[in-house]
Structure 1
Amino acid sequence: MRSQERHRDVAAYALGVLDEADAFRFEDHLMECARCAAHVTEFGPVTRQMMLYRRSTPRFVSPMTSPGPQLLDKLMAAVANRHRATRRRFLYGLAASVAIAAAAPGIMMLANGSDGAVRMAATDAKTGVWAQLTTADADMGSNVELEVKDAAGPRACRLVAVGRDGSEQIVTSWTVPDHDARPITMRGSTAMHIAEIARYDLRTAQGQHLVTLDAH
Structure 2
Amino acid sequence: MRSLERHRDVGAYALGVLDEAEAFRFEDHLMECPQCAAQVTEFGPAARQLMLYRRATPRFVHPMAHPGPRLLDRLLGELAHRHRARRRRFLYGLAASVVLAVAGPGVMVYAGHDEPAARVTAATDPGTGVWARVTTEDGDSGSRMRLEVKDASGPHTCRLVVVGRDGSEQIVSGWSVTAHDTGTTMTTAGSTMHPDEIARYDVRTTDGQRLVSLPPR
The two structures have a TM-score, normalised by structure 1, of 0.74
Q: CA RMSD in A?
A: 3.2
Cα offset for 1:70? 3.1
Between the aligned partners of 2:193 and 2:19, the Cα distance in structure 1 is 31
Between the aligned partners of 1:4 and 1:170, the Cα distance in structure 2 is 26
Q: Which consecutive residues of structure 2, in runs of 5 or more, have no partner in the other structure?
A: 99-114
Between the aligned partners of 1:206 and 1:96, the Cα distance in structure 2 is 41
SS in structure 1 opposite 2:154? coil
Is the alpha carbon distance of 1:115 and 1:66 closer, same or farther for their aligned partners in structure 2, counting shifts above 3 Å? Answer: closer
Cα offset for 1:41? 2.0
Cα offset for 1:122? 1.9
Between the aligned partners of 1:160 and 1:17, the Cα distance in structure 2 is 19
- With 161-170 and 143-152 compared, the bigger mean Cα shift is at 161-170
Is the alpha carbon distance of 1:85 and 1:10 closer, same or farther for their aligned partners in structure 2, counting shifts above 3 Å? Answer: farther
Aligned residue in 1 for 2:53: 50
Is the alpha carbon distance of 1:144 and 1:4 closer, same or farther for their aligned partners in structure 2, counting shifts above 3 Å? Answer: farther
Cα offset for 1:84? 1.2
Between the aligned partners of 1:141 and 1:13, the Cα distance in structure 2 is 22
Contact map agreement 1:90 1:134 (CA 8 A) in 2: no
Cα offset for 1:153? 1.5
Between the aligned partners of 1:135 and 1:82, the Cα distance in structure 2 is 17
Q: Which consecutive residues of structure 1, in runs of 5 or more, have no partner in the other structure?
A: 99-113
Aligned residue in 2 for 1:212: 213
Aligned residue in 1 for 2:80: 80
- With 200-209 and 71-80 compared, the bigger mean Cα shift is at 71-80
Q: Which amino acid aligns with 2:144?
A: N
Cα offset for 1:189? 1.3
Cα offset for 1:147? 0.8
Cα offset for 1:64? 6.7
SS in structure 2 opposite 1:93? helix
User: What does 1:27-106 align with in structure 2 at a 5 Å threshold?
Assistant: 29-30=29-30, 32=33, 33-54=36-57, 56=58, 58-59=60-61, 66-97=66-97
Query: What is the total number of aligned residue pairs between the two structures?
Result: 200
SS in structure 1 opposite 2:43? helix
Between the aligned partners of 1:43 and 1:144, the Cα distance in structure 2 is 15
Structure 1 moving runs of 4+ over 4 Å: 1-31, 62-66
Q: Is 2:157 the partner of 1:149?
A: no
SS in structure 1 opposite 2:95? helix
Between the aligned partners of 2:212 and 2:23, the Cα distance in structure 1 is 31
Between the aligned partners of 1:208 and 1:25, the Cα distance in structure 2 is 18
Contact map agreement 1:132 1:146 (CA 8 A) in 2: yes
Aligned residue in 2 for 1:133: 134
Contact map agreement 1:11 1:43 (CA 8 A) in 2: no
Between the aligned partners of 1:148 and 1:66, the Cα distance in structure 2 is 35
Contact map agreement 1:30 1:37 (CA 8 A) in 2: no
Between the aligned partners of 2:24 and 2:204, the Cα distance in structure 1 is 23
SS in structure 2 opposite 1:175? strand
Is the alpha carbon distance of 1:25 and 1:127 closer, same or farther for their aligned partners in structure 2, counting shifts above 3 Å? Answer: closer
Between the aligned partners of 1:140 and 1:7, the Cα distance in structure 2 is 31
Aligned residue in 2 for 1:109: none
Percent identity, aligned pairs only? 57
SS in structure 1 opposite 2:208? coil
SS in structure 1 opposite 2:179? coil
